[in-house]
Each structure stands twice: as structure tokens, then as C-alpha cells.
Structure 1
Amino acid sequence: MISFEIKKQVVLIYLWLWWITSTNICVNATNDSLKPGDTLNSKSKLCSKQGKFCLQFSNNSIGSDFPCLFISVNVDYGTVVWMYDINHSIDFNTSVLLLDYSGVLKIESQNRKLPIIIYSSPQPTNNTMATILDTGNFVLQQLHPNGTKSILWQSFDYPTDVLIPMMKLGVNRKTGHKWSLVSDKFNLEWGPKEGELNIKKSGKVYWKSGKLKSNGLFENIPANVQNRYQYIIVSNKDEDSFTFEVKDGKFAQWELISKGRLVGDDGYIANADMCYGYSDGGCQKWEDIPTCREPGEVFQKKAGTPNVDNATTFEQDVTYSYSDCKIRCWRNCNCSAFQEYYDNGTGCVFHSWNSTQYVQVVADTFYNLVKPTKSAPNSHGT
């Protein structure tokens, strides 16, 4: 199965090609909404009033088509910040986003007998409108006779792997709905009881941000990558949530990549892939350090392939990812290095040697366990 991150990279490539060949430039678009009966197809797009964000379909396939209704930052950046559920199969050429006269927001395409329902109103109504806002939020609203509006559905409630200003992490206490980032096996969540950001894998906490200090910075996040943010934390009967604003008003994003790293515009916010199960620098403890390992040892990415004469074992299970391979190598005192078995980053190859290794310079990479040059009791994982 192709990972979400690989699919997303293909979306970015296509998006760049789309913009340099399209005569319909997002910034100049004036249509930001779908009214009942309106449709959005592969040759059109919705853009927010100030042209900051656009909603459109993307024609991308890796072996087969996958759903690519996405929101991106304007043409100057082209960053994808949201994608609709990629587990549904649609056809690019015939796919249509439709808001019908009963208040149903859905995707229809020729290769599907039944439409993909994004939202269906409990009570049929035609006084609805779907709008892409300058915050990057795509909202379906009900318009009331007194001029007020209520939100029926919004893309901000269903983040993918990117957090942008005013998009929330946490829980809606009215509905029980949870907001979190998801990237393959890793999740970024807000822990309201502790007041900390958590990166989890399969329900196990790998990394925590630490408490928010009096200077407005989290303990376990480098100061240089968070000085530009203003954090907003809400805790009341309606919600427990975390979000951020950018002090200079410019666009910024946090992205949770598949290996468990949280990346901001100014660098790494968290390296959960450096956590092997002990407490240090935000990493959470769930087991003792193996007796054969020492604080300060890290896995370093190397170009090439270890000598085939070294002892090598294989794990061909496609459910194993980079972090699974790393933890298994760390726990195994005979393991000196590892690499992914399959091209899509799954499965493991484990290498062992006694004191020396020979690397063949080829178009390949592996991760070598390197001992510290001097005692570093508190530096592991930094």
C-alpha cells in the first residue's frame, strides 16, 4: 500500500504543473462558494476572496487513481494543506463536487455507483453554502432568515498531516470529535490534562512537548523554531484545544511526516523518530536502555550499502516501517545498522558486524548506529 506521504508528494508535483499551464490563476478568481445546485469539476476551482487558498481536484495516480480533492496555499507557494479522504477511489476526469438542493455535499464520478457523501444534513434544506475561507478552512454553512450562519461541516475538523494557523488539535466536548494530525502510523495530539503536545504511534506516546513556560515556549521544542508563534489554548465546557497564530501574520505550517518528525518552517519541532523508549529531550520512557547501548548513541543516515559479507537478516513484513526497524535494531545487541527492505519504506534489513564495516558506494541508503565520541549522558536523541 502506498504511503500517504508519497501520494502527497505526487500531488505537489502535479499542482506545480497545473499552475504553470493553467490560464485560470487562483489569485484572480472571484468565486469562493458553491450554492445549491453548483458543482466543482476537474477544470474548475474555488479560491478564497483574497486568493490565499484554493480548493480543486488533482489528477494523480500511482498505479491507480486515488481521491485528490485538496486545499492548497495560493500560487506563490502551492503547498497542500488538506486532502479529502484518500481511501475512496474516484475518476479525475468525471469527478464532480456537488452541493445539492437538500444540503448534501458529495463527490460523484462515473466509476462509482454511489456518491461519496462528505456531509448529509439531518433535515433536508436548500439554504446552504460551501465556502473556501481565507483561513484555509472549507466550510458548509446553513444560512438563517435572520442573516446568521451556522457551520454544518468544515475541513478544519478533519486535518491530514498539516497544521496551519487556527486549525485545532484537541477535542470538541459538545460532539466528542477529536482533532489530530495523522501521518501513516504517527499521530500528533493535544493532551489537555497535561497541557502538552503528544506524538503517538499505535496509541503509545513517543514524544511530549513539555509544559508551556512563562515565556510562551514549550520546554522540549527548540526556542528558535517557536519564537514566531503565539499559542492559543482553550479549555472550557465546549472544547479543549490547541492552535497557533503567527506573530507577523505570514503563512506558516507544521507538518507531521511519516517517520514521526514534526517539521515547522524554521526547522524540526520534534524528532519522535529519535525516541527508542527511554526519557530524554521529550522522548517518553516505556522501557530501560538495553545494557549493550549507551546514552549518546544515534542512528546516522549513510549513503551506500553495508558489505554483503556482514551478517544480514531480513524482516519482510509490510506493516514494519522505519521506526519499527529502528527500535528492533536498537533492542538487538547484535544489530549495527538497518535499512528499509521495500522501495515504499516498509520491511527491514538488519546488518551486524564486529568492529569494522565496508560501504559500497551505490544509489542506496542505510542507518548506522554510531557511538558518541565522548560521554554524553543527556544528549541521546538530540
Structure 2
Amino acid sequence: MSKSQGPVCLIMEAEKLFLLFSLIMLQFLSCTSQESLKTNQTIKEGDLLISKGNIFALGFFSPGSSTNRYLGIWYHKIPEQTVVWVANRNDPIIGSSGFLFINQFGNLVLYRKDDQKLLVWSTNVSVEENDTCEAQLLDSGNLILVRKRSRKIVWQSFDYPTNIQLPGMKLGLDRKLGTDRFLTSWRSADDPGIGDFSIRINPNGSPQFFLYNGTKPITRAPPWPWRSQMGTFKSVFVNDPDEIYCQSTVPDGYYLVRLIVDHSGLLKMLTWRESDGRWKEYWKSPQLQCDYYGYCGAYSTCELANYNAFGCACLPGFEPKNPMEWSLRDGSGGCVRKRLQTSSVCDHGEGFVKVENVILPDTSAAAWVDMSKSRAEYCELECKRNCSCSAYAVIVIPGKGDGCLNWHKELVDIKYDRIESHDLYVRVDAYELAGNTRKLNGSREKTMQAILAPSIALLLFLISLTAYLRLKKGAKKGTELQINSNSTESECFKLSTIMAATNNFSPANELGQGGFGSVYKGLLANGLEVAIKRLSRSSRQGIEEFKNEVMVIAKLQHRNLVKLLGYCNQDGEQMLIYEYLPNKSLDSFLFRKSLQVFIALIYSSCQILPV
């Protein structure tokens, strides 16, 4: 090489290095990330728009095993790509490059570049002339288009959700904007196109959220008004002339959560578990038989006691429409009104039977009654005035007081639930109402007897124990009967007085008899009617037992107990003289006054226990 060639070679080598450096920088600059998109900027393959807190990213992606390209938003920090919104879900970019920018009219537009530019998607909003817009991706996952001059949001992705609801996103109707925000599933795990399943609000009657397969309801949430909090999740519910929606929130930075309508037809709540590096299923629906809409048919309830049980039951006044199917544990046919003695529930004497702790039936055809007069009596009266009214409920409305909800068509999809529950009042005819009243009274009496039986048994045990202890103590004092009339307030009657009062124990005066002996009605010389318990000589009760019985009963004086007036112990006869009850027998007295008697017995037993 000559001396003159040296500098030339060095210059050529420098040019090569510069060219190589330029190519590297160009490649680096072609994959950029930014916080906002302005009118002179473009998002193309490899570029990302990242939220300020580095939580969400917007760019191009291919789902699953698909090679199609979509513009979407996903969690930026999570290793497992989780897409939460898709712009061109039904118009994939196939075999070409896409790019996003803001056009001269202030709209976000997505084009694909083949031989010519083809519009794939646009925000399609009107922007004032001579005003410019910019796009921002917020840490909530919401992509917004903002006017630079007024900073007013003219479009946002939260108004056009795909299959996921994020915290802060509204689901429901905006009547002023004409917007219906609802979720629709992907077609499959590899295709984000609009699938068969959706969750949306039905505003008719009392608003409800339904999960649909096409137009067929799969399951539904309880009707409005809804609960405002479930664990850590807080929700805002609005139902006014302008809007009907729900909006859930979680504490800032507490955890990542999303509600998804899965392509399999399930509604799921998922939270991100950092320790496992995966999404954890918080809950899903439907999963139990009672979750499915109308599982038990019309005019019936569904209650799942266990997985093997048949949980369908007809409402009061109704019976299975198809008894054979019902016996085979198929309740889908529902129930029909019983053919009873009366022909109509509008006959004189009809009324309502309360069904407690249920999620109210489908309210799509229900009607609200004046909320200012919603006392229970008013709700019943309003329903009774209209023969087509089959049931009513009294609803507490936050900030407005109570309201009446009346049903005028079939009662469908009723299930037991103690959290989101109300009491439903079902209209029945007079015959059914009378039968239900008898059943209710019988149930109350059985319940009272079930409560009293062990209590009285315990009381009798205490009395017997007290009697035994006093008997043991009294045995030391001899066998002569000596009762202190001052302490017992009981009188010792002569046998001749008793015989005269009972007409020498005439059979006509006998009130009853048992294993202890007989009871006679007697009339004393002073005109007082008495009941005389005459112990049988074969009763095996000795003088000490009789003495103890007199002492114990004498202490059990109470206004709700038969009063002991005295005793007789003469010539081998042992008798107790009580006040006479002219209208009722002793067992009737005890069971009709069961609660008062029980209290009196407990009180008295406490008084006679030995100290």
C-alpha cells in the first residue's frame, strides 16, 4: 500500500463504522416506548405506549398460537401476557404491518400497510376545528383521547370494553350519551373476536345483570339495590334517569384484579398472586345448579343443601306441573297453582304467605310502587287491589327509604340466600292461607313443646332432688306429720269436712283418675269450690313422702299455678285440696300458659333448693 492510500482507507473504515452505528440506532429507535401519543407520532410494530406507573402497555400482539396481529392493552409488569382490551377484535391485521396515529380530525386511527393503506379501526368522534388531541394510557388501563386546549376527554376505551372489567370501569347504561357498556367473551383463547357470551344490565323493572349465551340467560345477579361492598372490593351503584351502572374499586396498589367473561361461558373474578406468579380464581359463576337461571322452573324455589340433593320446591299454594318429572328430580317444568276449593286468588279472604331469605325472582317484568308510601301494609294493599299481582316485596333503597316491588307475571329464578336476601310475599287463595296458618301454628306449638320438654324434665329432676334431700333431713325428726301452717300457708282439713264436700266421694263428683288415685270436685261449707286429690292406698306413698309433697307444693305458690289450699291426713287417708279450675283441665292450663308456667316453675324451683 502506498503512502497516499493510507488516509483513504482510514476514511472508508470510518464511514463503514458510522453506517453500522446508524443502522443499530435506527433499529433501536424503531422500538420505542412513550407515555402519550401526539398528532406527529406513530405507534407501529414493536412500539409501546406505557402508562406513567409502568402498569399497562399498549401495542401490537398475537394471541395464543395465532399469527394475526391486534392492537391491545395488557399488564406490562406481569410475565404472563394478559390482554385486557382489544381495538380491532373482529378485524385482525393479517400478513401486514399495522400502525396507529392521530389524524388531522383528532381521531385515533389504525391502518394496515399493504400495497395501500387500509383503515382497520377508528375512534370516530367529532373534534372542534383548529383543536388537536393527544392519547394517553392511564395506570387504570384506560386509553383516553384528550383535547389539548380544554383537556376534555372526547373518547375512552372504558366506554367500549371487550371481555374484561377493570377497577374503575363502569358497566351499564349512560342514557345521556346513549352508551351501553357490557362485556363479551372472546371466540376462543386464540381469537379475541366477539364470542357467544356476554354480561350486561337489563334495565327493565328493577335493574339486574345477566350472563347471556346469545339472547338466552345463563345466570343473573340479585336485582337492584345491590350491596356496596364485598370484602376488599367496594362498589358504586347508580340508578337514576341519566345512568344505571355499577363500578367496582380496590385500594390503590393493593392488588391486581379483573372480572372476565370467559370464552367457555363462565364469569370469573381473578386476582394476581405475586408469590405464585399466576392469576388466582377468586370466584366464578355459574358453578352450582341453583346458579343457573330458572333451574327449578316457574313458581318454585331452589336451595342446594348438598351436591346430591334435589333442591327444588314449589311456592305456597303451588304444586309440581309435571309430578312424574318432579319425582325424577327434574324441576325445570316448574309449578302451577293448586286446584283447590276456590277458583281464584281474588276470591274474598285471600292473602299472602311470606317466603323468607330468598333472592327475589326475575324483576324484568316487576313494577315499582310509590316509594313514599311503602309500609308493608301499603305494599300488601296495592298488590291485593290488582288480581294480576302474584307477589310483592318491601325493598330498602339507600337514601330514599322503602319501596314496594310487585310482580304481575311468572315468578322465576327464586333461590335461598342469606346474604343478598329479601322476604317475598306470595299471593294465595283463602283455602291455602287457612292451611298455612294452621301449619304455622302447629309448627310454633311443636317448637314450644320441644323447648319446654327438656326444661320441664330438668325442673322435675330438681324438685325430686329437693324432695329427697328434705325427706332425708326430715327422717331424723320421727314419723309424725307436723307441718308449720305459717311457713306453708296450708290448712289441715278434717276427713268429715272432705266427705261432706264431696258427698261422701260420690262418683258424680269424680273429675278424673290416674295411677296415684282420683280427683274429686268438692264444695266447702263456705261456698268455695275445691279439687281434692285422694291418694290411693296402693300408691305406695308413705307418710314421709306425703309430708314432703305437701311442703314442696306449698312453696310452689304462683298466680299461674293451681293453688294448694290444704291437706288431710286422717284414718289412713292422704288428700291434697287445690283450688278448682272450672273451665280447663290441668294439662290444658299448662300447655296454653306454657311459657308463663315455665318461668314460674324455674323461679319457684330456685326458691326451694336447699341452702
TM (normalized to structure 2)?
0.38
Whether contact under 8 Å (1:166, 1:245) holds in the other structure is yes
Match of 2:215 among 203, 208, 229: 203
Are residues 1:252 and 2:286 paired? no
Distance 1:281 1:188 in 2: 24
Q: Which moved more, 1:287-296 or 1:112-121?
A: 287-296
| Correspondence for 1:11 | none
Return closer, same or farther for 1:212/1:277 CA change in 2, 3 Å cut-off.
Answer: closer
Q: What's the offset of the Cα at 1:205?
A: 2.2
| Correspondence for 1:270 | 285
Distance 1:138 1:108 in 2: 18
* Mapping of residues 84-103 of structure 1, within 5 Å: 84-91=87-94, 94-103=97-106
Q: What's the offset of the Cα at 1:84?
A: 1.5
Whether contact under 8 Å (1:207, 1:272) holds in the other structure is no
Whether contact under 8 Å (2:217, 2:293) holds in the other structure is no
Distance 1:83 1:50 in 2: 21
| Correspondence for 1:291 | 325
Q: Residues 44-94 of structure 1, C-alpha deviation per residue, up to 9 Å, x if partnerless? A: 10011111111010145867x534111111223542111123211314752
Distance 1:152 1:45 in 2: 22
* Mapping of residues 204-353 of structure 1, within 5 Å: 204-211=216-223, 216=228, 226-247=230-251, 249-265=254-270, 266-271=281-286, 275=292, 277-279=294-296, 280=302, 291=325, 293-294=328-329
Question: What value does the CA root-mean-square deviation take over the aligned residues?
Answer: 3.7
Distance 2:200 2:92 in 1: 28
Q: What's the offset of the Cα at 1:200?
A: 1.6
Whether contact under 8 Å (1:260, 1:273) holds in the other structure is no
Return closer, same or farther for 1:58/1:44 CA change in 2, 3 Å cut-off.
Answer: same
Distance 2:248 2:321 in 1: 35
Are residues 1:40 and 2:43 paired? yes
Matched residue type, 1:122: S
| Correspondence for 2:74 | 72
Match of 2:201 among 190, 212, 217: 190
| Correspondence for 1:165 | 167
Return closer, same or farther for 1:215/1:126 CA change in 2, 3 Å cut-off.
Answer: closer
The percentage of counterpart residues that share the same residue type is 24
* Mapping of residues 17-36 of structure 1, within 5 Å: 31-36=34-39
Distance 2:228 2:134 in 1: 38
Q: What's the offset of the Cα at 1:195?
A: 3.9
Distance 2:73 2:98 in 1: 16
Whether contact under 8 Å (2:44, 2:100) holds in the other structure is yes
Distance 2:248 2:42 in 1: 33
Distance 1:120 1:149 in 2: 18
Q: Which moved more, 1:89-98 or 1:161-170?
A: 89-98
Return closer, same or farther for 1:273/1:57 CA change in 2, 3 Å cut-off.
Answer: farther
| Correspondence for 1:137 | 142
Whether contact under 8 Å (1:127, 1:142) holds in the other structure is yes
Distance 1:214 1:194 in 2: 11
Whether contact under 8 Å (1:199, 1:207) holds in the other structure is yes
Matched residue type, 2:249: E
Whether contact under 8 Å (2:131, 2:148) holds in the other structure is no
Whether contact under 8 Å (1:168, 1:243) holds in the other structure is yes
Higher relative contact order (CA 8 A, sep 6+): 1
SS of 1:90's equivalent in the other structure is coil
Whether contact under 8 Å (1:33, 1:129) holds in the other structure is yes
Return closer, same or farther for 1:213/1:235 CA change in 2, 3 Å cut-off.
Answer: closer
Whether contact under 8 Å (1:42, 1:57) holds in the other structure is yes
Q: Which moved more, 1:249-258 or 1:272-281?
A: 272-281
Gaps of 5+ in 2: 1-27, 186-194, 271-280, 297-301, 305-319, 333-414, 418-611
SS of 1:114's equivalent in the other structure is strand
Return closer, same or farther for 1:272/1:87 CA change in 2, 3 Å cut-off.
Answer: farther
Return closer, same or farther for 1:113/1:41 CA change in 2, 3 Å cut-off.
Answer: closer
Bigger fraction of residues in helix:
2
Distance 1:33 1:169 in 2: 26
Computing the radius of gyration from Cα coordinates, the structure with the larger value is 2
Distance 2:220 2:74 in 1: 29
Distance 2:43 2:293 in 1: 46
| Correspondence for 1:314 | none
Q: How many residues align?
A: 260
SS of 1:85's equivalent in the other structure is coil
TM (normalized to structure 1)?
0.59
Whether contact under 8 Å (1:196, 1:210) holds in the other structure is yes
Q: What's the offset of the Cα at 1:211?
A: 4.0
| Correspondence for 1:358 | none
Distance 1:60 1:214 in 2: 36
Q: What's the offset of the Cα at 1:149?
A: 1.8
Gaps of 5+ in 1: 1-22, 218-225, 298-376
